[in-house]
A and B are shown apart, each in its own frame.
Chain A
Amino acid sequence: MSVVRPAESLMALSKQEELEDFPNDYPLSTSEDEEDSGGDRKHQKLLEAISSLDGKNRQKLAERSEASLKVSEFTVSSEGSGERLVLSDLLEPVKTSSSLATVKKQLNRIKSKKTVELPLNKEEVERVHREVAFNKTSQALSKWDPIVLKNRQAEQLVFPIEKEQSAFAPIEHVLNGWNARTPLEQEIFNLLSKNKQPVTDPLLTPMEKASLKAMSLEEAKMRRAELQRARALQSYYEARARREKRIKSKKYHRVLKKERAKKVLKEFEELQKVDPTAALEELEKLEKARMMERMSLKHQNSGKWAKSKAIMAKYDLEARQAMQDQLARNKELTQKLQVASESEEEGGVEEEGDLLVPDAVNEAHMTADGLNPWMVRNHPGDAKEAEIQKDREQLPEPMASEASESEGEERPVAEEEILLKEFEERRLVRKTSGLNQDTKAVDRQETKDTSSQEVLSELRALSQKLNKDKHQPRKQKVSLERTVLPVQREEPAQEEEVPLLLQRPERAETLEELEELGKEGCLQNKELPRSALERQQLERNPVNQPGAPKEKKRKEQMIDLQNILTTESPSVKSLAVPTTIEELENEQERDQKQMIREAFAGDDVIRDFLKEKREVVEESKPKDVDLTLPGWGEWGGMGLKPSAKKRQRFLIKAPEGPPRKDKNLPNVIINEKRNIQAAAHQVRVLPYPFTHHQQFERTIQTPIGSTWNTQRAFQKLTTPKVVTKLGHIIKPIKAEDVGYRSSSRSDLSVIQRNPKRLSLRHKKQLKKNSKD
């Protein structure tokens, strides 16, 4: 062997070099050297040192792969086994003792309990409740939205709302004395009578009637939901019962039994007080039950008989046989029942087994799975040891159970109940571990709360999702905007080589406002001074040059006043020339006067009119405010005139009013004053949906009086918006009235409780909820 060793080590070296890249394989190489002595170890150390030189695997953690008495304190490590060190492992002695099992269990239990989440603070809880309640209410209310909208837009509403009689009135009821006369009718009725269809009174068969009266969809849905609920509850109950029945934990059953016995005893005592004879019967029953239990083979080896047999078994073959039988029987009876149908439950049962079945079984189970590396490396020769261990474990168990039993008897009833609760708790924990809910809350609160919590969790998930969604597009948008903005900035720069942009914003705005006034406004600005000049000119020499060419200067739009009045209108060559000879004297005089007037008429008229117009225009213009104080900041005294600069400085110019209507009409003066009396009759408040007065004006432009409309149109235009029937009670609207046919009682109550209207934001939220 010693010859082979160096070779092997060499080989190992070479292998080591080869496998250096795979540090996980390191144990492999070591396992080969396992049998080697201390010299090998030194060699290996050397190798390690070499391998650690490259810096890759500086620390090789030594691993114990073999039970040995010498354990270096430096090589103890938690790694290598692939499992984390657990507190209970440390507690475990080399030899398992039953006294520690309970502690271990308790530790396990503590470990399995998650820390209870902090309850939400009151405001948040309230908020959540509010939100949920709001969603429910708004959902219930949103059902009415289309109806409300329809009623608002309806031309006429008739109250009370009459349901259309959907009942089928047979034709006999409608027309009395009606019988089939035509050949077709007769034929039809013959057919009906042949097929035993109802011919006269009930036109519908009972089946048809029933189907007509059948419940609506909503009702059916509700009914089905109720049934489903009941079925689910039943199945839960059944499953629970089955599971409880299948629980093998002796302790559980013992506790259960004891509780039951206590209950019975209590009842019995009560019964004794109330009804002694019945109590006696009950006592008998109890006795019988006890006897039956005694008789039945429930006990393995704790009975008197069993004990004696155990003693005898050494010597007596029969006794041994009997004991064997009993054991077999016991095994048979206590064997776990295999339910083949439900594979899922099996898993569940196994899980249960993990917790409830004693640890030994657990360990065996684990070995089978091959999860424990310790066990993996065990040689088949070690199996014996394992068996012994098992035996050891099995043996002390009954003792422990007995101990606990004895303790249990001393415990009060409350403790048992607590225990039972704990069992249930554990099961629930297993169930809801995926949802990471705290057990206490589940225990105490009703299903309602759980549902609300579910809603809550859903909401949270939703919000998270939404947040994620939001973030992404926002980022994208931002990036997009960044790319777009510079482009936009450049654009106007190119466009606005026009002087407009060069001006400051305020200035430009005013200019634009002017532009908005339109062409006329522009013209007005330019023309006003000029026209004023012209007028002055006119004033100066109206007599000298009536109708002089100066008028040509006027804009084309300005209608020539002179032209208006001095148009050469063609004279009438009437057939019947008025006879002036027969005129009366006074009329002759009048005519003379007229002649004189005509001779002097003309320019005066025009001049006067223009003067009047100018005055009116001046008067209607808004006045400037002069705030100059003569003598302020300069010499005082009589006859002072503040400087022009100062006057200009303290002059507040009035804003220019809108252009006059008669601006371009020289022969007209139109009064710009408001007709206040007529304005009192005008609408001065815009009604609700309108935002601009033009919109509203359009709706009131058609006259509704009978003077302007035909009779029919008048009637149509003046139909009342709401019609009520005299003497009828107007009941509030019901779902059935508008064809909803829903029997959901909550609708109305909800509306009465919460008549608030939905805001837009809430609606959006609702939509979101409904989508998800």
Chain B
Amino acid sequence: MEIAPKPGKDVPPKKDKLQTKKKKPRRYWEEEITPTAAGAFPGPPRNKRNPELFPQQPKNTHTLKKSRISKKPQFLNKSRERTNPKPQQSLSGAQDPFPGPAPVPVEVAQKFRRIDRSKKLPHSKSKTRSRLEVAEAEEEEISVKAARSELLLAEEPGFLEGEDGEDTAKISQADIVEAVDIASAAKHFDLNLWQFGPYRLNYSQTGRHLAFGGRRGHVAALDWVTKRLMCEINVMEAVRDIRFLHSEALLAVAQNRWLHIYDNQGIELHCIRRCDRVTRLEFLPFHFLLTTCSETGFLTYLDVSVGKIVAALNARAGRLDVMTQNPYNAVIHLGHSNGTVSLWSPAMKEPLAKILCHRGGVRAVAVDSTGMHMATSGLDHQLKIFDLRGAYQPLSARTLPQGAGHLAFSQWGLLAAGMGDVVNIWAGQGKGSPPSLEKPYLTHRLSGHVHGLQFCPFEDVLGVGHSGGITSMLVPGAAEPNFDGLENNPYRSRKQRQEWEVKALLEKVPAELICLDPRALAEVDVISLEQEKKERIERLGYDPESKAPFQPKPKKKGRSSTANLMKRKRKVMEEEHRDKVRQSLEQQSLKKKKVAKPVGTRPSALDRFVR
């Protein structure tokens, strides 16, 4: 679902210094003091776009290399058309060069449309039709408004572009760092933590904080932009996974036996013993659910806002250690050793769907932010991208020399795969398009085997946890350039965070609403509707909405004999039947027309031998 863009409202707008003291408006009979003024400034003075309104993100780190890095051409390059040939004369005599509201390009507005107009509705009464018209008009107006506010998304994603024939994969991190500004260059760093084994890592939702846990018990959280350490502890136990909860103040650590929750000081807050031998953690931010999958084969949903286990589902597929979430519909994807990926929701005891993806076991699963594509890698050394929009068919596949052990999608749809000590990144055509596996966009060799991968939200950074520590890679064009200041503000203060927390809790989505199609909630429950209708008919003894069966009118003078009545009844029945037949015939003929024979390929006599 497209979300209407919004400016970062939490940032206090800078006071416009240009506005001087209020002048008394000049009356038309007063003498014009500056006759040239009107000519010099046609139109009212426009407010300069406040540069402070959108805090500049040091995202366009890669603009330095002129040849290699370039800005994407503006995709919304529609020139305003003059709707009015004769602009209205204003009081001052100046003309508005762009009269009327700014035109909105249709494609942009189309993005925000929700009503599928192609679907034909059954015939509706006038009263209903008026309601429908109102709804449609409303939707259109809203979509136009949203499209207009697209203007507020000032930032654009950057990307790497090779010189003619140059492979971007050959560009090393050192080259990129050399090219970008200092602030961006500071985002590339390596943490050499070879002591405590392979690391798992997790970025907070705002992308500001980073938590990582080494297998040998090392847990740390830091503000990775400023490199300020929040806490560093050793839990003296194997750490399987680590994850921030809804804010950076809480983090969950899957330790060898149980699940523990620490605050950002490193103080243990909870030890959840019902979640034991947890292998992977996932957090659903809108539902406040922490999902864990364990060696025992259970998938557990823990509501962190109330501390209750919402559901504990037995996947019946042995040890679970591949898990990811679909950010679009909050469905959990589990990879199994029999090559299937199962989709789960806390409301159902059985998987919503099971997809056979690989001949061998599934090693890694990742779902992109639009919820359309799923990348899987299996023991058969294949990397596949599946379409999740109903068909569940592989869109593209690629055999990798060693197979990918870890996969991660970025906000902008880049796919990173960790294969041994190498990280490959594939890029697509933009947001929402599947990454093309033809050629990697970037590659990077690490000092150790990859153990955790995650793209940092709102930053063009890929964090890689490996056996030698943590590496923060620069991946131009990975992240969403514009953030929603009300939702995930990387620059928020403590107060703002607290406020957001309250609001987010108020807007918490119930766990039972998780289903494959999140828009199903906007549909009528047809089954119970029909059930209720049936019950009503049973209760009343007749169908109040049904058409009454034809009852022949009694006639006089002996014309109302039983035979006559029957005859009349049959006549009506046959007429109805004829109508039906006629309709079916029409449909058939239409179908026949549609299924015209394929032209060109004439059946040859030898075809019969083809098996």
Interface residues of A (CB under 8 A from B): 153, 181-184, 488, 492, 495-496, 498, 500-501, 505, 508-509, 511-512, 515, 519, 549, 552, 559, 561, 564-567, 569-572, 574-580, 582-584, 587, 594, 597-598, 601-602, 605-606, 608-609, 612, 661-662, 665, 667-671, 673-686, 689-703, 705, 707-713, 716-717
- 24 A-B pairs within 8 Å (CB atoms) are namely A505-B573, A505-B574, A508-B584, A552-B611, A559-B393, A575-B443, A579-B420, A579-B421, A583-B449, A584-B467, A601-B379, A605-B358, A677-B512, A681-B513, A682-B523, A682-B528, A683-B524, A686-B529, A692-B121, A693-B529, A696-B524, A699-B134, A702-B135, A705-B507
Query: Does the CB pair A569–B359 fall under 8 Å?
Result: no
By beta carbon, the residue of chain A nearest B595 is A519
Closest CB in chain A relative to B118 CB, distance in Å: 12
**Contact (Cβ within 8 A) A576 B443:** yes
In the bound assembly, the distance between CA atoms of A566 and B382 in angstroms comes to 10
CB of B523 within 8 A of CB of A702, answer no
Chain B interface, DSSP helix/strand/loop, else mixed? mixed
Which residue of the partner chain A has the closest CB to B579?
A492
Does A500 lie within 8 Å of B6, measured CB to CB? no
**Contact: A717 with B142, CB < 8 Å?**
yes
Confirm or deny: B444 has a beta carbon within 8 angstroms of a beta carbon on chain A.
Answer: yes
How many angstroms from the CA of A512 to the CA of B576 in the assembled complex? Answer: 13
Q: Is B138 an interface residue (CB 8 A)?
A: yes
Contact B121 A694 (CB under 8 A): yes
- Closest A residue to B511 by beta carbon equals A677
Q: In this complex, what residue of A is CB-closest to B438?
A: A570
List of B residues within 8 angstroms of A670 by Cβ: 352-353
Tier of interface size on chain B: 35 or more
| Contact present for A665 and B515 (CB under 8 Å) | no
Min CB distance, B605 to chain A, in Å?
20
- Bound complex: CA of A669 vs CA of B359, how far in Å? 16
Would you call A576 and B353 a contact (CB within 8 A)?
no
- Let me know if B567 is at the binding interface, CB within 8 A: no
A587 touches B358 (CB 8 A): no
Q: Which residues of A contact B348 (CB under 8 A)?
A: 671, 673, 675
Query: Min CB distance, B269 to chain A, in Å?
Result: 29
B398 contacts A by Cβ under 8 Å? yes
Q: Contact: B141 with A713, CB < 8 Å? A: yes
- The CA-CA distance from A243 to B591 in the complex, in Å, is 90
Interchain CB contact under 8 A, A675 and B515? yes
Complex Cα distance, B114 from A669, in Å, reads: 29
Partner of B525, one of A501, A602, A682: A682
Q: Is the CB of A665 within 8 A of B392?
A: yes
Top 3 A-B residue pairs of the complex, sorted by shortest distance between their CB atoms: A578-B420, A677-B512, A693-B524
Q: Using CB atoms, name the residue of chain A closest to B531.
A: A684
B398 near A571 with CB under 8 A, answer: yes
Contact B532 A685 (CB under 8 A): yes
Instruction: Flag if A699 contacts B142 (CB, 8 Å).
Output: no
Whether A702 and B393, one on each chain, are in contact in the complex, defined by CB atoms closer than 8 angstroms, is no
Q: How far is the CB of B70 from chain A (nearest CB, A)?
A: 23
A605 with B580: in contact, given A569-B399, A713-B146 (CB under 8 Å)? Answer: no
Q: How far is the CA of A181 from the CA of B512 in the complex (A)?
A: 73
Interface of chain B residues 434 through 455 with chain A (CB within 8 A): 437, 440, 443-445, 449
Query: Does B90 lie at the interface of the complex (its beta carbon under 8 Å from any beta carbon of A)?
Result: no
Please tell me if the beta carbons of B3 and A712 are within 8 angstroms of each other in the complex. Answer: no
The answer to whether B139 and A701 have CB atoms under 8 Å apart is: yes
Check: B587 CB closer than 8 A to any chain A CB.
Answer: yes
Residue contact B521 to A571, C-beta cutoff 8 Å: no
Q: Which B residues are in CB contact (< 8 Å) with A686?
A: 524, 529
Asked if A577 contacts B401 (CB within 8 A), the reply is yes
B606 within 8 A of A: no
Contact A609 B138 (CB under 8 A): no
> Which of B125-133, B186-194, B489-497 is the contact stretch?
B125-133
Contact assessment for A695 and B122 in the assembled complex, using a CB-CB cutoff below 8 Å: yes
In the complex with contacts A552-B611, A601-B379, A699-B131, A500-B121 CB distance below 8 A: no
Chain B hits for A667, CB < 8 A: 355-357, 392-393
A572 touches B125 (CB 8 A): no
Contact with A along B152-192 (1 / 0, CB 8 A): 00000000000000000110000000000000000000000
B526 near A: Cβ within 8 Å? yes
Find out whether the CB atom of B354 lies under 8 angstroms from the CB atom of A698: no
Please name the residue on chain B nearest to A692 by beta carbon. B122
CB distance from B84 to the nearest CB of A (A): 24
Would you call A605 and B391 a contact (CB within 8 A)? no
CB distance from B45 to the nearest CB of A (A): 24
A508 to B524, CA, bound (A): 32
Is B115 a contact partner of A710 (Cβ separation < 8 A)? no
Task: Say yes or no for B347: interface residue by CB 8 A criterion.
Answer: yes
Interface residues of B (CB under 8 A from A): 1-4, 6, 27, 29, 114-116, 119, 121-122, 124-125, 127-128, 130-132, 134-136, 138-139, 141-142, 145-146, 149, 169-170, 338-340, 345, 347-348, 350-361, 379-384, 390-394, 396-402, 419-422, 424, 437, 440, 443-445, 449, 467, 487, 507, 510, 512-515, 519-529, 532, 573-575, 577-578, 580-585, 587-588, 591, 611
Cα–Cα, bound, A662→B355 (Å): 10
> 19 other contacts beyond A572-B400, A702-B135, with CB at 8 A cut-off?
A500-B585, A508-B577, A511-B584, A572-B437, A575-B440, A598-B379, A601-B361, A601-B380, A605-B356, A609-B339, A668-B392, A669-B353, A682-B520, A684-B532, A689-B127, A694-B121, A698-B132, A701-B135, A707-B507
Asked whether B135 lies within 8 Å of A564 as measured between CB atoms, the reply is no
In contact, B581 and A689 (Cβ under 8 angstroms): no
Cα of A549 to Cα of B149 in the assembled complex, Å: 57
A684 and B525 within 8 A (CB): yes
Find the B residue at minimum CB distance from A573.
B401
- Cβ contact of A690, chosen from B3, B128, B443, cutoff 8 A: B128
Q: Answer whether A571 and B399 are a contact pair too, CB < 8 Å, given A508-B581, A681-B512, A695-B124.
A: yes
| Shortest CB distance A184–B (Å) | 7
From known contacts A569-B382, A609-B340, A689-B125, infer whether A601 and B577 are also in contact, taking CB-CB under 8 Å.
no
A492 and B360: CB pair below 8 A? no
* Minimum CB distance partner of B545 in chain A: A691
Given A682-B520, A686-B529 in contact, is the A665-B352 Cβ separation under 8 Å? no
* Inter-chain contact A699/B399, CB cutoff 8 Å: no
A691 near B421 with CB under 8 A, answer no
**Please, which residues of chain A bring their CB within 8 A of the CB of B582?**
492, 495
Chain A residue, CB-CB nearest to B527: A674
Q: Please indicate the chain A residues that have their CB under 8 angstroms from the CB of B131 in the complex.
A: 689-690, 699
Kindly provide the distance from the CB of B508 to the nearest chain A CB, expressed in whole angstroms.
Answer: 13
CB distance from A581 to the nearest CB of B (A): 10
Does B400 lie within 8 Å of A571, measured CB to CB? yes
Please give the distance in Å from B115's CB to the nearest CB on chain A.
5
Complex Cα distance, B579 from A496, in Å, reads: 12
CB distance from A627 to the nearest CB of B (A): 24
Q: Using Cβ atoms and an 8 Å threshold, which residues of chain A touch B119?
A: 694
Give the chain B neighbours of A566 by CB distance below 8 A. Answer: 359
A501 to B382, CA, bound (A): 56
Most central of B138, B169, B581 by chain A CB within 10 Å: B581
B31 to chain A, nearest CB (A): 12
Given contacts A669-B353, A680-B512, A702-B114, contact A515 B577 (CB under 8 A): no
Cα distance, A717 to B114, chains bound together (Å)? 15
Determine if A678 and B515 form an interchain contact, defined as CB atoms under 8 angstroms apart.
yes
Interfacial chain B residues near A717, Cβ < 8 Å: 138, 142
Compute how far the CA of A48 lies from the CA of B202 in the bound complex, rounded to whole angstroms.
139
Residue of A nearest to B3 (CB): A708
Contacts of B584 in A (CB 8 A): 500, 508, 511-512, 515
Q: How far is the CB of B581 from chain A (nearest CB, A)?
A: 6
Does the CB pair B135–A578 fall under 8 Å?
no
User: Is B360's CB under 8 angstroms from A598's CB?
Assistant: yes
Asked if A671 contacts B350 (CB within 8 A), the reply is yes
State whether A572 touches B399 (Cβ < 8 A).
Answer: yes
Are the CB atoms of B522 and A697 closer together than 8 Å?
A: yes
Q: Are A703 and B114 in contact (CB under 8 A)?
A: yes
Contacts of A584 in B (CB 8 A): 449, 467
B398-A702 in contact (CB<8A): no
Most buried by A among B338, B359, B521, B587: B359
